[in-house]
Amino acid sequence: MAKPALGRGLDALLGGVPATRESSAPAAQTPISPDASAAAPGTERVQRVALNRIRPCPFQPRKDFPEEALRELADSIRAQGIVQPLIVRARGDGFELIAGERRWRAAQLAGLAHVPVLVREADDTAALELALIENLQRENLNPLEEAQGYKQLLDLFNLRQEDIASKVGKSRVAVANALRLLNLPGEVQAHLRSGRLSVGHAKVILGLRLPAEQTLASEQVIRNGLSVRQTEDLVARLGQAGMRQPGAASAPRDAVGPRDVHVVALESRLQERMGTKVNLRYRQGRGTIEIRFHSEDELSRLLELLGVTAE
């Protein structure tokens, strides 16, 4: 059997509980309580609860639920039931979703009165972590939803990038690069969210320093159907044009002319590898590389990435 894509699989997190199918009568080999309140504390079995007792979680990283996909899932649920139970935690006299909001929404469309659930004891950090892991394993999140989930872990729960990477089975560079997408202008983020721009395009566009340039580049990429390689050329040309503008903020102080296309492309690759802003200045075989950081933790991450030990 293939190893799960993420370091911590859902089976491990859920204690290896098998999936069940929603039906009019519970299967003999899988005891299902008529209501979660009847279950003994700390049990890890599938239970049936009223759909109207479940509400969504505010920490759910996934925000986009296409209506057509929900209708298709609702049709499947009517025919086959819910194959995998929702994961919830007790809240007041009801339950709050940790994972499975798409199934919950589709169950409403399908007209179900009860759904199978697993009731977990989870604080806010664990709830967001589990929601992220489930969605990442299923590839349900768009790139910005993934980045927003990481940002929630950073801002709300004071986790470091390396902590997040360890929890979701990603490299720290992957987490850092995902977070960089949140620096793009709103218009560019909208294109990325809808799939009109790929993550590869967005990473190249981040090589431009001004939001107006980034927005212009994204529009040209979409209009002309440019590949990532063609986008690198476009970003280089836009960078050159920006430097020729009088007083352009994007021009380095020692600039004497347009930047070489290959230098701009290399700078973009360096930024992706380092997961932070990098300025590459090159002239006749000499130059400088400026790597920016915004916290002690980020500096430690960069030093480790470079193989440097702080003494």
Active site residues: 101
Using CA atoms, how far apart are residues 184 and 215, in angstroms rounded to an integer? 8
Cα first-last separation, the chain: 44
CB atoms within 10 A of CB 165: 20
Q: Which residues contact 25 (CB under 8 A, 6 or more apart)?
A: none
Q: Classify residue 287 as left (phi > 0), alpha (psi -120 to 50) or beta.
A: left
Contact 267, 232 (CB under 8 A): no
Q: Buried b / exposed e across 222-247, counting CB within 10 Å, b at 16+?
A: eeeebeeeebbebbbbbbeebbeeee
CA distances from 295 to 18, 64, 82, 110, 292 (A): 43, 32, 45, 49, 10
Counting every residue written for the chain, the total comes to: 311
- Both tokens of 166, joined, read 């360890």
Q: Which residues of 34-52 are buried (b: 16+ CB within 10 A; e: fewer)?
A: eebeebeeeeebbbbbebe
- Rounded CA-CA distance 76/73 in Å is 5
Sequence-distant (6+) residues with CB within 8 A of 4 are 10, 11, 137
